Amino acid sequence: MTLFALSLVVLAVATAPIVLAWIERGRPRRLAAWAPLYGVLAAAAVVVVVAEVVRGRSPAAALGNYSGTSNGRFSWPVPGGHISQYFHYGHPGIDIAGRTGDLVHAAAAGTVIYAGWRNNGGGYVVWVSHGSGIYTTYNHLSAVLVGTGQHVSRGQIVGRVGMTGWATGPHLHFEVWRGGVPGGVDRRVNPLPYF
């Protein structure tokens, strides 16, 4: 629901002035029929944000600011980092932009099942098993600071942001696997609902 609210706000804010300017200049009259839609979208975004605030979340969290504290099961792995690419077909995780060397934290308590280099494009990675068939992976690290078999707590440092493997800039590629061990059958899911 937070991404929905964010998309509504962005759509309304980014396109309404353009459409209204066109309408005022007498440009395509067909656009006049769309003007009320922008008002409805903006109102819907406000309703969603207010509902999230009533549920105890901050307005920033309601608008999709995932760069800090967390109310869900997982904590944010790169404090201060922001999403530079979302989960979608062909990109089975989220990219969290940061500076090379920024600390990467475990999203939840668990056991490290792999820590080291992978030739799959992830570069230096850490894989953590959280139990109940839930795994997280931390990819493109510049440094791995835990070892295989080590127990980690929620928020414990596991590595540093980097751009190893197939990466074009420093970021953490973060994945959640459900029901299958990373590297096995592809069971990657959108990480955002876990935060």
pLDDT confidence of residue 103: 98
Assigned token pair, 156: 């414990």
pLDDT confidence of residue 180: 75
**131 burial via Cβ count (<10 Å: 0-12, 13-18, 19+):** exposed
pLDDT category at 119 given cuts 50, 70, 90 is: very high
What pLDDT, in 10s, does the model give residues 145-163? 999 999 999 999 999 999 9
What pLDDT, in 10s, does the model give residues 51-71? 655 555 444 444 444 444 455
**pTM of the complete model:** 0.65
What are the boundaries of each domain within the chain? 2-62, 82-194
Cβ-based neighbour number of residue 119 at 10 Å: 7
Count of CA atoms in the C-beta half-sphere (13 A) of 98: 30
Close Cβ partners of 61 (under 8 Å, ≥ 6 residues apart): 2, 52, 69, 71
Tell me the fold of 82-194.
Answer: Glucose Permease (Domain IIA) (2.70.70)
Q: Is the pLDDT of residue 10 over 60?
A: no
Tell me the one-letter amino acid at 109: A
pLDDT confidence of residue 179: 85
The proportion of the chain whose per-residue pLDDT surpasses 70, expressed as a percent, equals 61
Say if residues 161 and 100 touch (Cβ distance below 8 Å): yes
